[in-house]
Amino acid sequence: MANVIIEIKNYSWRYLNTTSPALTNINLTVEEGKFIGIIGPNGSGKTTLAYSLDGLIPGQYNGIKEGEVLVYGKEVEQYARGELQRSVGVVFSDPESQFTAMTVEDELVFGMENLGMSVPEIRERLEWVTELTDLKPLLMKPPYEISGGQKQRVALAAVLAMTPKVMILDEPTSMLDPISRKRIFEVLEKLKSEGSNTIMVIEHSLENLIPLADRMILLSGGELVLEDETRRFFQKMPLLLEKGVHPPGSMQFFYELTENGFISNLLPLGIDEAVVELEELVGRKSGYGDPR
């Protein structure tokens, strides 16, 4: 069994001057190296959960906390200032809100300098991260003058450069066109295959997220409504639809087949699996390829 990296116990958080809690009685355990997808409607507490894990809550926000949020077994408030951020990095949904520097290169270096890394190490990581996120041609440009997709890649790279053990991405592709979105997910796929990070992604675009996610979490109205291994998670289709989640078309199609008693197979996670399953089903039923 893998190491537990994050443990949340009976955790509730209410922002000051609000009447209802943003998160209510959350219980969650995340194992090291896992890829977790977090979904839920706007206003369901996804960003609050992300901020709770890197110490922005309760550090930078006023409010009332109940329960425990543990990273490596230690309560987030117990970490010295800046120490937790070495382990947990957040990529914000609005990339501009995290930019401070005049060039992309400075932006990438900024976080590493703050962590007190040596110059050779910074140089090495800068090279690794620009390669991984394909940012070389942009290094000398001001972060304000590049496209939305490029900005989101810079934001991601800046956090990656610090190689936190846990990376939390808050809607990393919300403003992107399909090709830029794909490129972000390609970076995440590479990162996942390197296997050294625990990755948590808040995302509305399920088609890209599902094939990468080991486990999925659904938040709704500040509560953790569902948490399971990805394939089992989507078996709860009625609950998901009721909560306003619309799984990708091929998954819905196979769910309907199961519901109507035509098949009892597992739901396909991606298009490739769906094609194989459908070929088998239709081929068998209609007698194609039937040896008799």
Q: How far is the CB of 113 from other proteins (least distance, A)?
A: 32
Q: How far is the CB of 248 from other proteins (least distance, A)?
A: 5
Q: State how beta strands 63-71 and 4-15 pair.
A: antiparallel
Q: Of residues 194-233, which lie at the interface with other proteins (CB under 8 A)?
A: 204, 207
Q: Which of 3, 177, 196, 229 binds other proteins (CB under 8 A)?
A: 177
Q: Which is nearer to other proteins, 81 or 288 (CB)?
A: 288
174 scored as a contact of other proteins (CB under 8 A): yes
The 246-265 contact track toward other proteins, x by CB under 8 A, reads x-xxx-xx--xx----x---
Tell me how far, at minimum, the Cβ of 27 lies from other proteins, in Å.
Answer: 24
Cβ distance to other proteins smaller for residue 139 or 278: 278
CA-to-CA dists, residue 251 to 10, 22, 203, 231, 247, angstroms: 33, 31, 18, 10, 6
Binds other proteins (CB under 8 A): choice among 2, 43, 64, 232: 43
Q: Does 86 bind other proteins (CB under 8 A)?
A: no
Query: Which residue, 4 or 276, has its beta carbon nearer to other proteins?
Result: 276
Q: Is 285 in the site for other proteins (CB under 8 A)?
A: yes
Q: Does 178 interact with other proteins (rule: CB under 8 A)?
A: yes
Decide if residue 239 touches other proteins (CB under 8 A).
no
Identified binder of other proteins from the candidate list 10, 147, 196, 265, rule CB under 8 A = 147
Judged by CB under 8 A, does residue 68 bind other proteins? no
Strand ranges of the sheet holding 166-170, from the earlier edge strand across to the other edge: 88-91, 166-170, 198-202, 35-39, 215-220, 223-229
Determine if 47 is a binding residue for other proteins (CB under 8 A): no
Q: Give 118 or 260: the residue with its C-beta nearer to other proteins.
A: 260
Point out which span in 72-80, 100-108, 114-122, 179-187 binds other proteins (CB under 8 A). 179-187
Site residues (vs other proteins, CB under 8 A): 40-43, 147-149, 174-182, 204, 207, 244-246, 248-250, 252-253, 256-257, 262, 271, 274-275, 278-279, 281-283, 285-288
